[in-house]
Structure 1
Amino acid sequence: MAAAKLGAEVRMIGKVGADEYGDILLESLRLAGVSTDGVAQEGVTGMACITVGENAENHIVIVPGANATLDKRDIDRISGMIQASDWIVMQLEVPLEVVGYCLEKAAMYEKPVILNPAPALILPPAMLKHVHTLIPNETELQTLTGMPTESDEEVERAARHMQTRGVRRIVVTRGAKGAYLLNEHTQYFVSAYPVDAVDTTAAGDSFVAGFAVAKGRGLSDLEALEYANKVAAITVTREGAQPSLPTKDEVDRILNRRGE
């Protein structure tokens, strides 16, 4: 949804419940311009309980529901969508074997994959070699590498470790400390965009969407990093997950106002 609101043509692949909640989610996706042809309905819809503290940071408890029943047959059914896409964006809220299967499909069709490793899991090298861009936060990067990720130097070392495991581009979201990118040629640290945060729930998702959309438009790595940083900054100034996601026009207005 975040990518669709930023103007991208988006096809969703996944599973929701055959219940009222599933119907509501599908309708909200369609209203945002997302094609739901790749979404099956079965069982009960997954749920997330989110609390937000006084510092705007969030804690999330997830009951996976239908997400946990996505399988390889579902992916085979919609493999044409993978073949027809320019970029594939994935996360880890479905079974890991299905993630690996999708990565293999994307590699077969020579499609670049952006993987947001959330919730954080240790990933096998056979999967990582198919990941074009990995976008973890500091905690997720620490889980992936077993290395500390507090300081700039620690983040760089952990990112370079992931590079040795086959990932070509690593982007680390760092909350109030900004973001970091390491590719095959260089690295960038960018500062956080100055805003008054009220809810960080959808910050990571909107950042990933912003980066994917920017790369899809042909922007450089640094330009995509800065664009994603601004998208996330707008998101955290609003309450909620879906309601906080900015549109392309909103982001463009802010960029134009600041002459960027």
Structure 2
Amino acid sequence: MKPSILVVGSSNTDMVIKADHLPSPGETILGGTFLMNPGGKGANQAVAAARLGGSVTFICKTGNDIFGKQSVQLFEDEGIDVSHLLSDSKNPSGVALITVDKNAENCIVVASGANASLSVADLQQSDAVIKNAEIVLMQLEIPLETVAYVAEIAAASGKKVVLNPAPACKLPESLYRHISIITPNQNEAQLLTGIAVTDVDGAKLAAAVLHEKGVKDVIITLGKAGALVYSKSNYTYIAAEKVIPVDTTAAGDVFNGALAVAISEGKSIEDATVFACKASGIAVTRLGAQSSAPYRNEISSKVHHADI
């Protein structure tokens, strides 16, 4: 039986417009293609992990509306265990408005809706699921106190806790010691540590600070430059796949979902990061969030990384 991955997080419907450039304040521009896709960092990560062969349970909260019902059906279609999903009768499902420019850069505004009401009390009903999962993967589009509660319960049960600290915000110091692996990008790493992460050297300094705060292993993603892994006092640089990007919207989410799958299969953190870079490299060549997540047979088996 495959080790189980529990994803706790957000589910949104993404409304995407491709445009020549991102609008400035007060500017109206005429865009091109419009897409309405399932999204949300938690949902994206759950779908990515399931497509790559993970045994995934997903806990989120949706509204009692068409967006929520569509999302649940899509999760079931992906083979995700949705038996612990929650429905909010008072708030709508989450929605994200996304603009993507010709260089595949994006700007995103999220109306959290039901995601913001995923409470500690909700998760207390799922304590057994948390304790039985081998890996718990979370992000920050749900209340921070809920993230902290799940991390504490999982860590106390000896489970691996992977936190993707996005969207970026300051974390309570007590949370760090419950995190097995943290995966900030450059901006998130700078917010968490106060260290500018503009290159690998900056990433090494920031990773050391995060480790000192109590995190066991640190992976700082560097966009098209790849990722830096800090584990067991060693730094390892992982190069990114060379691709022509189309849409970077869910690159980080696919990275984290793939990382969780590889870790669940017993891969080293370095090899798991290589696998995650390959998966996210495919995702950025496709439009959309969940729709961009690759399947296992699309990932090559070659492994390349270097200690630095």
TM bin, normalised by shorter chain, reads: over 0.9
Match of 2:292 in 1: 244
2:119 alignment counterpart: 71
CA distance in 2, matches of 1:235, 1:219: 21
- Cα deviation, 1:8-61, whole Å, max 9, x if unaligned, reads 110001101111110001111111111111210102101111111111111111
Q: CA deviation at 1:187?
A: 1.1
Counterpart position of 2:247: 199
The 5 A counterparts of 1:3-22 are 3-22=49-68
1:39 counterpart = 2:71: no
Question: Which residue in 1 is equivalent to 2:131?
Answer: 83
Aligned AA (2:210): M
1:61 counterpart residue number: 109
Runs of 4+ in 1 over 4 A off after TM superposition: none
Q: Distance in 1 between matches of 2:171 and 2:193?
A: 10
Secondary structure at the aligned position of 1:163 is classed as helix
Letter in structure 1 aligned against 2:80: V
Q: Which residue of 2 aligns with 1:182?
A: 230
Q: Which residue of 2 aligns with 1:142?
A: 190
Q: Percent identity?
A: 38
Summarize the Cα distance change of 1:207–1:259 in structure 2 as closer, same or farther, 3 Å threshold: closer
Measure, in 2, the Cα distance between the counterparts of 1:223 and 1:96. Answer: 30
Say whether the 8 Å CA contact 2:181–2:218 is kept in structure 1: yes
**What's the TM-score, normalizing by structure 2?**
0.81
**Partner residue in 2 for 1:98:** 146
Distance in 2 of aligned mates of 1:10 and 1:216: 11
Q: Could you give the per-residue CA deviations for residues 82-130 of structure 1, whole angstroms, max 9, x where no partner exists? A: 1121100001111111111111111221111000001111112211110
Q: Select the structure that is richer in helix.
A: 1
Return the offset for 1:259: 8.7
Q: Give matches, 1:150-189, under 5 Å.
A: 150-189=198-237
Q: Decide which of 67, 87, 97 is 1:49's aligned counterpart.
A: 97
SS of the equivalent of 1:142 reads helix
Q: Secondary structure at the residue paired with 1:34?
A: coil
Distance 1:19 1:161 in 2: 43
Secondary structure in structure 2 of the residue aligned to 1:36 = coil
Question: If the length of structure 1 is used for normalisation, what is the TM-score?
Answer: 0.96
What root-mean-square deviation, in Å, do the aligned CA atoms of Structure 1 and Structure 2 show? 1.2
Gaps of 5+ in 2: 1-46
- Name the SS for the 2:179 alignment partner: coil
1:184 CA drift (Å):
2.2
Aligned length: 256
- 2:231 is aligned with what amino acid? N
Find the partner of 1:26 among 72, 75, 85. Answer: 72
* AA matched with 1:8: G
- 1:185 is displaced (CA, Å) by 3.0
Spell out, residue by residue over 1:173-197, the C-alpha distance to the aligned partner (whole angstroms, 9 max, x if none): 1111111100123111111111111
